[in-house]
Chains A and B, each alone.
Chain A
Amino acid sequence: MSARMLPAGSDPIRPGPTAPVTIHVDGEPVTGAAGQTIAGIVLANGRLAWRRTSSDGRPRGLFCGIGVCFDCIVTVNGDRDVRACQRRACDGDVVSSQHDELPEVHR
């Protein structure tokens, strides 16, 4: 197992009731709580990585969580390079993972 959201019922800080938001990540519907970031929703749904690196094709997800490392970038509603850890999810957001291959270099 991995990341998960503490169920509101057992959370001692007693968060209010959550309105669900559903986003589509690489075609799959994923649901989280209103006000969560895209990364938070994806992580809490058990997916730790959503990008592959350009040279080695290695998986990446969230690293710094505060918008400085850009490891978590995704395409949101057609806009590339959106930091998933900073962008609050909106119902219906279409999120796709980015795998930017290096160009073929003709020497």
Chain B
Amino acid sequence: MSQIKLTTPFSEAVVENLRIGQRVLLSGTIYTGRDAAHKKMVELLDQGKELPIPLVGQVIYYVGPSPAKPGRVIGSAGPTTSGRMDPYAPRLIALGLKGMIGKGKRSPEVIKAMKQYKAVYFAAVGGAAALISRSIKACRVVAYPELGPEAVHELVVEDFPLIVVNDVLGGDLYEEGTKIYAAR
């Protein structure tokens, strides 16, 4: 199966060409965030303050890694359930976020925002956390260190294997894929 190599940050043209089911190898800088960090970021936006990370063209990975063993860049780092970030995601997408990585279905609101503002959602393989950590070449905390594994990290990734689940056309691989293989 062919895989598309992509590098962050994303231009609108790159995002517009992605389609559900495509396999991607992602390289470049991405940011991590779980619900606690999203909540804090949206609070900053409410107060009219600046975010600790850039958003335009960027990708957020929903992950809370296990602690790094000595001499390692990061611990095991597979995706967490994206639904918990659904209440916050449309706000970030409207501000220019172009990609999200996680596992599990997104809400209709997030899917609508992806269509309207041109963004995509990728699935990483849930539970393949030791394998994924090999694609992560650098890691540093950029905000909320007090949140531990839930802090916002800046990651440099190389050929991180992903699958496009939601595209700018409103497609949803969770729905489509299941339909194809469901016995009638």
Are the chains A and B members of one assembly?
no
Residue positions of A touching B, CB distance < 8 A: none
